[in-house]
Structure 1
Amino acid sequence: MLMRGLELVTGAISEVMGRIGWFLILYCMAFGVSDVFMRYVLNAPSQWIGTTLQAAMVLLACTGGVYALQHDSFVKLDLFYANASDRSKAILDILTAPFAVLFLVALIWKGYDAAALSLKLNQKTPTAIPIPIYPIKFAIPLSGCLVLLIVLKHFIKDVQTMLGLGREQ
């Protein structure tokens, strides 16, 4: 029951993140091309597009990481992993999970510290059009929390697979 709820929550979150990522890709494509056109053809560079593209790419990494992990789309070292049994894959995943958790805890902790400081200092981009930086910085620990939730879900499934417990239908 708990696993089913966790599956539904992480699935819904990752789908929302995937849709946000889709819009961010469109934004980056449209404004990236228009920025190049304005700069090199019209000789009238934008004062804000480059900065917003940088922010969009950070957000794209945040949303894309959540979506890719949920859909098992990250690259793995297939030399050892591809031909292994499901139980062996689960054991390998269990052995690497502590490293993922350690990295994510550090990302969340230090990312939150950086975002809180950015908010306290009211950081803005040093451009002609000042854009607040702290919302983008808060996206990093937030997405770290979401990725951690998915990692924990995968860990539980891997433990069940390793112990030979079938999925409850």
Structure 2
Amino acid sequence: MPNIIKSYVKGVDTLNRFTGLVTMHLIFVMIGLLLYSSLSRTLFDTPINSVVTISQFLMSAYYLLGGGFSMQEDAHVRMDLFYSRWSSKGKAKMDVFTSIFLMFYLVILLYGAVSSTMYTIEVGQKTRTLIQYPLAPIKILMTLGVLLMLLQATATFFKDLAKARGVTL
């Protein structure tokens, strides 16, 4: 494989590893926020109205930004009827084939995410809750998450292509 592809794969893997490891800690922020809300409601009789909305935003950021790292770690759910019985090279060939469809899907998703984000920024879209939070930050994170997933899918495509050809990347 050319050095530019090796550099691309290494760079994307590093970026998604860092993003995934940082994003993993959002679960603790969510737990703390929900615990605080629960305690304030039961012990002090002071409900916090915005906790559900903020938790939804955090959860969205958690799974959207962690998608590339999850793909890198091969932690996605896979429908496995025959795949586990195939050789490493056979698996790589099938992954190369299916990656093309995944990348097509992610390009369409990225187009929609960018379009949605631009619209949100242009009109100043906000949540329809008691406290109207701007939607732009979560839409930007959504777009970034889809982009990271597309970059990782492309890097994984190159890794699988190398493996299918019997070359180490």
Structure 1: give runs of 5+ residues left out of the alignment. Answer: none
Equivalent of 2:60 in 58, 63, 66: 58
Equivalent of 2:9 in 7, 10, 34: 7
Deviation at 1:144, TM superposition (A): 1.2
Deviation at 1:39, TM superposition (A): 2.6
Per-residue CA distance 1:84-134 (angstroms, 9 max, x = gap): 111110111122112211210111011111111111111222334332111
2:81, 2:43 → 1: CA distance?
A: 48
The corresponding residue for 1:123 is 125
Structure 2: give runs of 5+ residues left out of the alignment. Answer: none
Deviation at 1:13, TM superposition (A): 1.1
2:98, 2:10 → 1: CA distance?
A: 24
1:91, 1:11 → 2: CA distance?
A: 21
* Counterpart code for 2:168: R
Q: What is the TM-score when the length of structure 1 is the normalising length?
A: 0.89
Equivalent of 1:67 in 57, 66, 69: 69
Quick check: 2:65–2:148 contact (8 Å CA) kept in 1? no
Quick check: 1:11–1:70 contact (8 Å CA) kept in 2? yes
CA RMSD of aligned residues (A): 1.7
Residue 167 of structure 1 pairs with residue 168 of structure 2: yes
Alignment of 1:95-110 (within 5 A): 95-110=97-112
* Counterpart code for 1:138: I
2:12, 2:134 → 1: CA distance?
A: 29
Large movers: runs of 4+ above 4 Å: none
Deviation at 1:30, TM superposition (A): 0.7
The corresponding residue for 2:41 is 39
* Identical aligned residues as a percent: 26
Q: Which has the higher contact order (CA 8 A, sep 6+)?
A: 2
Residue 28 of structure 1 pairs with residue 30 of structure 2: yes
2:157, 2:21 → 1: CA distance?
A: 25
Quick check: 2:93–2:164 contact (8 Å CA) kept in 1? yes
2:41, 2:104 → 1: CA distance?
A: 43
Q: What is the TM-score when the length of structure 2 is the normalising length?
A: 0.89
1:92, 1:21 → 2: CA distance?
A: 30
